[in-house]
Amino acid sequence: MQDTHLQNLFLTDDGIKSKTAIVTQTNPSLAITENLGSFGQVFSVGLDGVAALLPNKPIAIELPRTVPDCLREVVFERSITPHDATDVDSLLMKGKQSSELINAQLVRQQNPPYFVQRAKDVFDRIHGLKGHRIVIAHSDIGNGKTLFAAELAARLKAAAFRVFDFRPE
């Protein structure tokens, strides 16, 4: 785990580790598997594998009655200006993505597209299930986890789910 805030959260609460499933790439190295195993149960099946493994029955997860301070509910603006070459350059060359533009593409089907959609299969699986879902994506740096999470959040919000973003205190 590279994120020290998440690492501290997992290492300070033993209950979290026992309830955490970590999905990583297929065939990770032994070092990666052992490292991730200290935070929860490791499934080395990749994102496509996790979509196929999700059960078609509800899973009961007890959530806190109040939202912790480190979580912020995702909200999208209703009026979005179309993206331009500067936005696409910022995404591709600098890795700076805009959740608002991702949401706008999903809602308005803008052409040309702002990004390549990758989360639809996982969304379809999650959307078809009842109850609460926690999704953790793990992969090498630069493989698109943040963009994938932003797309998944936009899809879930459009389907009237409550979506939260982790913000370290």
- pLDDT tens by residue, the chain, 169 residues: 445 556 666 666 667 777 777 888 888 889 888 888 887 888 888 877 777 766 666 666 676 678 778 888 888 776 667 778 888 888 878 778 887 788 777 777 767 777 777 777 777 776 666 555 666 777 777 777 888 888 888 888 888 878 888 776 5
How is residue 107 written in tokens?
């809602």
Contacts of 142 (CB under 8 A, 6+ apart): 95
pLDDT of residue 1: 45
pLDDT of residue 117: 73
Percent helix, strand, coil in the chain, to 5, is 45, 10, 50
The Cα–Cα gap between 26 and 117 comes to: 21
Q: Residue holding tokens 């936009």?
A: 154
Secondary structure class of 21 (helix, strand, coil) = strand
Q: Are 91 and 98 in contact (CB under 8 A)?
A: yes
137 phi/psi in degrees, rounded to 5: -110, 130
User: Side-chain half-sphere of 105: how many Cα atoms within 13 Å?
Assistant: 20
| Beta-carbon count within 10 A of 106 CB | 21
Domain ranges (residues) in the chain: 68-129+143-166
